[in-house]
Amino acid sequence: MTIEKTFDLAVQNHQKNNFQVAENHYKEVLKINPNHFKSVFLLGSLYAQNNNFDRAKQLLDKAIQINPNFADVHNNLANVLKELKELKKAIACYEKAIKINPNFADAHYNLGNTLKLLDEYKKAKSCYEKAIKINPNFADAYNNLGTVFKKLEESRKAISCYVKAIKIK
């Protein structure tokens, strides 16, 4: 079987949540080409989905070495670092993802979530607002923006955000 066919099977199984089969196919590709970017990236993402954050971190770091200009890798690595409680490193990765793709709504949202964990509510507010500007139907961003407004004791704005989130969902 060709590397392309094996990779396609990995992706198909990954999308169907057949994680073990997908993992095996990604690993087959990586035996042939250890620097196959998409396999490294998606296998790292698969490990993150299955809470194997240490292994995910290793692979996503490698993916960045192979292709440092792919915003999704930085965003996914940041998510892993957040799970590993490496919040400052996570923030730097989200910022790198946003630098590569300023219109990456999920990266703005995720950065906001991490800043919120650090009680940096004004910075988190700005991130959620950017995510909403990029994606006006981002219900979770409205919800979290409402939570930030609540923390900032701006009840009316909080309620307005919650109502928008409910209308979208």
C-alpha span between 128 and 134 (Å, rounded): 10
Q: pLDDT, tens digit, for every residue of 42-70?
A: 999 999 999 999 999 999 999 999 999 99
Mean pLDDT over all residues of the chain? 97
Asked if the model's pLDDT at residue 169 lies above 80, the reply is yes
Which residues, 6+ apart, have CB-to-CB distance to 45 below 8 Å?
56, 60, 76
Q: What percent of the chain has pLDDT over 90?
A: 99
Question: The whole model's pTM is what?
Answer: 0.93
pLDDT of 101: 98
Residue range 98-126: mean pLDDT, rounded:
98
Ranges of H-type helices in 33-154: 37-49, 53-66, 71-83, 87-100, 105-117, 121-134, 139-151
Q: pLDDT, tens digit, for every residue of 16-26?
A: 999 999 999 99
